[in-house]
Every structure is written in structure tokens, then in C-alpha cells.
Amino acid sequence: QRDRQTRLRLSAGGEAGRKGRGLQMAWLLWNVLLAFFPASLYPLVISKSRNRYEWASWCSKSMTVDCHSSENLLFESNVTALQVIAPSMGQTGTTSIIDALREMGLRAYHADDHASFAKQVMLDRVDPVYWANAVSRCRMAAISLEPVTDLFPLALSVSPQAKVILTWRDYPSWQRSTSTGGVTKDKRASYLMGMVTSARRVLPWIELLDHFTGVILRVRLNGDPFSRPPQAAAFLYRLLCSGYAWPANDVYSRGVFKCSGQEEAYLAHIDEIRRITPPGRLLEVDVKKFRWRELEEFLGLPSTRGDMTLPQSRSKRSRTNDPFLDDLSPQVLLALFSLTAMHGANYFLLALLVRTLLRLLAGLCPCCRR
């Protein structure tokens, strides 16, 4: 009798042990499911959210918000007050010229600036008056037309006081710099920034922040060109709402991109600049040899920097074609951190939703209630 009771106890203990191990295994699988299911689901959510909606048309309101402060609207005109037009191709020193003009106190715009705050400037087949309205409303004193260099005749026609600075290099050198440097670096940076900014496709965190604080709205209304280092809010807006590649601009079939790979088109553009610019208003420069004194004399300003060379904004050692990303200033890092934090918030909410749904399903399953 005693042996029989012992065998029963051992049998019951073994069965309990097996049930315990089964429960432990089920609990482990449950936690693995909770951990990995949201992780595998989040990329799918990002991809399905792509280009499906624009939260409150935040970026698309650019035409009626950017540079529309009460102060800026006073300057809106059918002709511009541009002092300098830089109609040259990229990778020829346009950034150095714009940086130099900014150091001289001019409100100078490059591609990133008008792609963010004056998107009308880049429109294909834009009306001259509409173009002049945008330029004057943003109070531009200087502009680099790149990448829409085909707009030079239009820009010159509505800018009676503007002088023209032509930066150029021989075609083989320009083509080599564009294909092996600029384009490659731009693609790499664009891919990485695309992944970072994709957090906005899920939930409108930045739009909500701006709605309650107005921190980005103030930047948009003023439309100030980017400084170095840029304001964090301005850089964040540029990452999210740059109109560089908007379909209405059609930049990849005109201007710089049309000349890429075609020496005849490249030289024809330089020839057009020389031909239509009025006498006395054109300065041709090699940025590597160009001196501050020459620039100041051309603009009719007193020489203050002598024979110093202009600032070199890019070099072969640059990791990207974006000086701001190369510098990685605290302001830029703050903007990038904000975007990665948005990914974290999106993932947390998705994981919470998945966990809640799985618990509800587990509660409805009869086998899980036993």
C-alpha cells in the first residue's frame, strides 16, 4: 500500500512538472511573440503609410505660409531687388559664393533655402510675375538658381539691378566631380535621411508640436536662409518639407540634370549667360583662385578682406554633399534626435496596441482560460 501511494505521488509530481515546463515554454513563446511581432510589423506600417496622406496639408501649405510674415509681405513686388544672381551649375563653387555673400551681410539663398521657403522659385514654366513675387517676398538679395539654372533668362528679366556671378570649370572636371562626388554623396545621404524622416508617415508628431508651440511656423513665416549652424526647427522643416524633388518642379529633366552628361548643353548654358547678361554686370570666376577683393570690387563695396580666398564649403573629404550634415552641429543633432524619437514613440504605441490585441485574443480563446 505504501509503495502504491509513493508511485502515485511520483506520477502526480511528474505530471505537474511536465505541466510546469509546458507553461514555462508557453510563457517564453508568448514573450518572444510580444517582442518580435511589433518589430516585424513596424517596417510594414512604414511602407504602407508612404505617400498615402499629408497630415493637415502641412507641407503643401508652403505656398501660402512660407515667407508670408507681415514684414515680408511689405516687400512683395513684380520686380526683384536682387543684387546678385548665380546661375551656374552645382559643383562649380556656387555654395562658396553664397557663403561669401552671407558673410558680407546679404540675404543670400541657395537651393536648400528656396526649396524650403520659396518653392515657387523652382516651378517649371513659372510666370515671371509670380516668380518675382516669391523672391521679393522672401527679401532675397542674392540667389543661386541651381538646380533650376534654366530660369536664368526669367530671373534676369525681373531683376533690373542684379549683377551676375558665373562660376565654372572645364566640362571633364565638372562631370567627374558631379558623377563621382555630388551625385553619389547625395544618393547616400538621401537614403539615410529618408529612413530617418519616415517616422512622420505614421503619426503627425512634428505637426502637433508646431500646432501647439508654433516653433516651426515662426521659421516658415520669416523664411530666413539657413545659417551655419542652422536653427534646429529650420533644419527639421527642411528635412520634412523640402520641395526640391516635388513633381511640379520637374528638376530631373531640366537645368543641371539636363546638362549632366552632355558637354554641348553644359557649354551652351555658359554661353547663354555670357550672351544675355548686359555689359558690366557679369563676373566670371574660378572659385579656387577667386579673392575677396575681386568680389567686393565687383559689388562696389570697400575691400575689407584683401586677397584672402573665399570659404571652401565642400571638399573631397566631405562625407556628404550637405555641409550641415557634415558639420553635425548640436542643432542638427537635435533635429535628427527628434526624428529618431518619433520612431521610438511610433514603435512604443504599435507595441502597446499589439500587446493589447494579443491579450484580448488570449482572453477570448477557451483553451487559454483553463
Per the model's pLDDT, the better-predicted residue between 156 and 188 turns out to be: 156
Q: What is the mean pLDDT of residues 350-358?
A: 80
User: Which residues, 6+ apart, have CB-to-CB distance to 25 below 8 Å?
Assistant: none
Q: If you search the block for the grid coordinates 558631379, which residue do you land on?
A: 178
In a domain, residue 265? The reply is yes
In a domain, residue 7? The reply is no
pLDDT score of 56: 44
Nearest Cα neighbor of 283 from 132, 97, 100 is 97
In a domain, residue 12? The reply is no
| pLDDT higher than 70, residue 124 | yes
Question: With bands split at pLDDT 50, 70 and 90, how would you rate the model's confidence at 322?
Answer: confident
pLDDT score of 53: 47
By DSSP bridging, strand 163-167 and strand 282-285 are parallel
Q: What is the mean pLDDT of residues 98-110?
A: 91
In a domain, residue 297? The reply is yes
| pLDDT higher than 80, residue 267 | yes
Out of 33-37, 243-247, 249-253, pick the least confident.
33-37
The whole-model pTM stands at 0.81
| pLDDT higher than 80, residue 361 | no
Per the model's pLDDT, the better-predicted residue between 306 and 126 turns out to be: 126
CATH code for the domain of 199: 3.40.50.300
pLDDT score of 219: 93
Give the tens place of pLDDT for each residue, 19-56. 555 556 656 666 666 666 667 777 777 777 755 445 44
In a domain, residue 193? The reply is yes
Q: What is the mean pLDDT of residues 206-231?
A: 89
Query: What single-letter amino acid sits at 337?
Result: F
pLDDT score of 30: 60
In a domain, residue 158? The reply is yes
The SS3 of residue 202 is coil
As to burial, measured by CB atoms within 10 angstroms (0-12 exposed, 13-18 middle, 19+ buried), residue 267 is middle
What is the spatial distance between Cα 356 and Cα 200, in angstroms, rounded to a whole number?
A: 24
Per the model's pLDDT, the better-predicted residue between 21 and 145 turns out to be: 145
In a domain, residue 361? The reply is no
Q: What is the mean pLDDT of residues 126-143?
A: 94
Number of domains in the chain: 1
What is the spatial distance between Cα 45 and Cα 25, in angstroms, rounded to a whole number?
A: 30
In a domain, residue 329? The reply is yes
| pLDDT higher than 80, residue 217 | yes
Domain range for 237 is 62-346
Average pLDDT, the chain: 81
What is the spatial distance between Cα 196 and Cα 201, in angstroms, rounded to a whole number?
A: 11
